[in-house]
């Protein structure tokens, strides 16, 4: 009996061992559950921080682009998808280049910013500015507030068990009201300026934005002198018949379905007289004393009008030495030149369109 009692005191019974194992199992289960809960809380905290950063990054880009944009098109109530992304913003990089930014959400919930610069194709790129964006239009959308004239962005980031939603209200610089036209701008010039009478002059107009369509009419004072279509934001009309003097030119844009008509500032096209050249020929050189000699002056261009004055040195030749030109020519005949060399000149008078000019020759008169 003594030995049996001693054995019991030196070990554990089966019941005691089972109880110990049960207690250990309960403790380990609690520890595992505690660890899992701790990791879950840690993941939620990280997901929350990640979602906040994603929202901040997206808002920074949208806010900056919206404030830069030269046009924001508000929501069209007739379009059930009008409050969905993609969102398009556009602005002008003067003088004529345009920048487009399009925000969209792909099938994986990646929020993308596509940048397009018409001047520099190398600047056309797409970047991901947020991930895990909920593409449900009830949770992520862009809405135009007609009362506040503001763009409202609702953005939801879904990551794990975290759903972070934020609302941003941005007021752009320029707004296009639904179903209304917006203002265009127009600048005009001409080339060459100044020009000469009879010279072709290009009347030019640049219309912004360059997507505008329609026609440009050019006016000289109150008179229409030409109409040209707009192609890639530009219109040109060549004109040949501008008279000498200053011309008050302006360009009038007709407008189209999206853009209002507008008139450019008036600029002055200066047209100067065109230059001429005069040549002189003798019917007989040398001649002998008493012989009749005919001098012929030719003016280029041959549509010049006015007179030719024939001189011997600085003195007008005797008789009717001032002769009207016809088809660019005038002749004068004389038989009273004295012996010797005579410096003959033919002086063109010029007219309202052409400058003066002079032709010369030496006429030798010999003795019999």
Give domain status of residue 262, yes or no. Answer: yes
Q: What distances in angstroms separate CA 223 from CA 121, 246, 251, 290, 364, one per listed residue?
A: 42, 14, 11, 60, 56
215 in the same domain as 153:
no
Q: Using omega within 30 degrees of 0 as the cis cutoff, is the peptide bond preceding 194 cis?
A: yes
Q: In this structure, is residue 211 part of a structural domain?
A: yes
Q: Is there a domain that residue 3 lies in?
A: no
Residue 109 lies in a domain: yes
What's the pLDDT score for residue 71? 64
Residue 255 resides in a domain = yes
pLDDT at position 327 is: 94
How many CB atoms lie under 10 A from the CB of residue 235?
25
Last residue of a domain, one of 217, 237, 272: 272
Residues 295 and 358 in one domain: yes
Rounded Cα distance, 184 and 39, in Å: 59
Structural Rg of the chain based on CA atoms? 46
140 and 246: one domain?
no
The helices-and-strands tally (H runs, E runs) of the chain is: 2, 25
248 lies in the same domain as 300: no
The DSSP secondary structure of 39-57, one letter per residue, reads: HHHHHHHHHHHHHHHHHHH
Question: Both 267 and 289 in a single domain?
Answer: no
Residue 16 lies in a domain: no
Burial class (CB in 10 A: 0-12, 13-18, 19+), 348: buried
Asked whether the beta carbons of 356 and 349 are under 8 A apart, the reply is yes
Residuewise pLDDT in 10s, the chain (368 residues):
434 443 444 555 777 666 666 666 666 665 555 455 444 667 778 888 888 888 889 889 988 888 777 666 555 444 445 567 778 777 766 555 677 788 888 888 899 998 887 667 677 788 999 999 988 888 888 887 767 778 888 989 888 888 889 898 888 766 555 455 777 889 999 999 999 999 999 999 999 888 889 999 999 999 999 999 999 899 999 999 899 999 999 999 999 887 889 999 999 999 999 999 999 999 999 999 999 999 999 999 999 999 999 999 999 999 889 999 999 999 999 999 999 999 999 999 999 999 999 999 999 999 87
Stretch (H or E) spanning 22? helix 14-68
Q: Which of 286, 292, 291 is nearest to 340 (CA)?
A: 286
- 30: in domain: no
Asked whether residue 135 falls in the same domain as residue 158, the answer is yes
Write down the pLDDT at residue 212.
Answer: 87
Does one domain contain both 143 and 53?
yes
Place of tokens 């261009």: 301
Q: How many domains does the chain have?
A: 3
Domain closes at, from 244, 272, 300: 272
Domain hosting residue 360, numbered range: 277-366
Q: 356 and 310 in one domain?
A: yes
Q: Give the pLDDT of residue 302.
A: 94
Q: Count the neighbouring beta carbons within 10 Å of the beta carbon of residue 313.
A: 10
C-beta separation of 100 from 116 below 8 A: yes
**Same structural domain, 62 and 164:** yes
**Phi, psi torsion values for 59, nearest 5 degrees:** -65, -40
Is there a single domain that holds both residue 192 and residue 227? yes
The pLDDT score that the predictor gives to residue 316 is 95
Q: What is the CATH number of the domain that holds 226?
A: 2.60.40.10
Residues 248 and 199 in one domain: yes
Q: Does residue 331 form part of some domain?
A: yes
Separation CA 192–CA 171 (nearest Å): 44
Cα gap 272→327, rounded to integer Å: 22
One domain, residues 265 and 282: no
Looking at 221, 244, 272, the residue that finishes a domain is 272
pTM above 0.75, yes or no: no
Q: Report the pLDDT value the prediction gives residue 262, as an integer from 0 to 100.
A: 92
């Amino acid at each position: 009996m003594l030995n049996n009692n001693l054995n019991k005191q030196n070990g554990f019974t089966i019941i005691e061992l089972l109880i110990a194992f049960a207690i250990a199992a309960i403790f380990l289960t609690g520890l595992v559950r505690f660890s899992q809960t701790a990791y879950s809380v840690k993941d939620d905290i990280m997901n929350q921080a990640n979602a906040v950063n994603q929202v901040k990054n997206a808002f920074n880009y949208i806010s900056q682009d919206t404030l830069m944009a030269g046009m924001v098109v508000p929501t069209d109530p007739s379009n059930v998808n009008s409050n969905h992304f993609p969102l398009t913003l556009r602005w002008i990089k003067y003088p004529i280049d345009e920048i487009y930014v399009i925000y969209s959400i792909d099938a994986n919930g990646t929020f993308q910013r596509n940048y397009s610069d018409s001047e520099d194709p190398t600047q056309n790129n797409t970047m991901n500015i947020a991930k895990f964006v909920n593409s449900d239009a009830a949770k992520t959308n862009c809405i135009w507030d007609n009362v506040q004239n503001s763009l409202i962005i609702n953005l939801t980031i879904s990551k794990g068990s975290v759903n972070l939603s934020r609302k941003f209200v941005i007021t752009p610089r320029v707004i296009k009201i639904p179903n209304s036209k917006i203002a265009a701008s127009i600048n005009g010039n001409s080339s060459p300026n100044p020009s000469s009478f009879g010279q072709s002059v290009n009347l030019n107009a640049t219309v912004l934005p360059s997507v505008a369509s329609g026609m440009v009419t050019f006016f000289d004072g109150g008179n229409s002198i030409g109409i040209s279509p707009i192609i890639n934001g530009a219109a040109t009309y060549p004109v040949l018949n501008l008279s000498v003097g200053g011309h008050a030119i302006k360009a009038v844009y007709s407008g189209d379905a999206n853009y209002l008509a507008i008139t450019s500032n008036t600029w002055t096209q200066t047209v100067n007289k065109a230059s001429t050249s005069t040549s002189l020929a003798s019917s007989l050189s040398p001649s002998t004393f008493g012989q009749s000699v005919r001098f012929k002056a030719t003016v280029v261009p041959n549509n010049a009008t006015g007179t030719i004055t024939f001189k011997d040195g600085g003195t007008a030749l005797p008789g009717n030495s001032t002769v009207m030109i016809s088809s660019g020519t005038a002749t004068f005949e004389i038989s009273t030149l004295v012996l010797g060399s005579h410096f003959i000149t033919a002086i063109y008078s010029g007219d309202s369109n052409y400058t003066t000019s002079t032709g010369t020759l030496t006429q030798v008169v010999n003795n019999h």
